[in-house]
Chain A
Amino acid sequence: DVKVTQSSRYLVKRTGEKVFLECVQDMDHENMFWYRQDPGLGLRLIYFSYDVKMKEKGDIPEGYSVSREKKERFSLILESASTNQTSMYLCASSLPEPWLYTDTQYFGPGTRLTVL
């Protein structure tokens, strides 16, 4: 079974702090993703990575950066946390299929981040 883990289930930080959210997958997947989920807005893609050191912006990258130094690990960084970044953050990974549209993404348990 695919296992995607996230470093924390719940996190409370203060405005202006630098925040690191870590995600690790154990299935040797090339692709990794960070989403945020807000009530009424569904899931929105922040960043994704299709290889080590490779990244692409998603729909809402502002205020975030990412790092992928190893294949199994994808980090989301909030350089200076703000209250509007209070949200549920979900990490996912997928193995590219021969036909790209058949990729199935597998999700971690999520991190509920509160910025005070």
Chain B
Amino acid sequence: AQKITQTQPGMFVQEKEAVTLDCTYDTSDQSYGLFWYKQPSSGEMIFLIYQGSYDEQNATEGRYSLNFQKARKSANLVISASQLGDSAMYFCGANSGGSNYKLTFGKGTLLTVNP
């Protein structure tokens, strides 16, 4: 079973600066996927970025990149050039191969971008 740990309940960043949100995972599976979602105050979960366990390069999507360190079992989200609209809850999640499609989430990090 997966276990996801997000150790930062809240983070603050100045507008236009970069910020790293931490995520570690615990799995014995060889094949797994790592995901980050953003949840604004309106409530919807927005998919941001995906990293597969066999991907050698870190995933990037626009201002989002995933710093994947397999040996450390970490999958940190880096947001570059923060914007006020980035203020939201961020959830790290993971799933694994097999018949169980379940996505396990961490408890989230609340990011506040200050002007």
Contact = CB atoms under 8 A, between A and B. Distances in A.
A104 B45 CA distance: 12
B101 A103 contact: yes
Interface residues of B, number: 30
Interface string B91-115: 1000111111111111110000000
A interface residue count range (under 10 / 10 to 19 / 20 to 34 / 35 or more)? 20 to 34
Contacts of A33: 101, 103
A41 B42 CA distance: 18
A81 to B, nearest CB: 20
Interface of B: 29, 31-33, 35, 37, 42-47, 50, 52-53, 91, 95-108
A105 B47 contact: yes
Given A42-B91, A43-B91, A110-B44, A101 B105 contact: no
Interface string A35-53: 0000011110100101000
Q: Sort A-B residue pairs by CB-CB distance and give the 8 closest, nearest first.
A: A107-B45, A110-B43, A42-B107, A101-B33, A109-B44, A43-B105, A101-B97, A100-B97
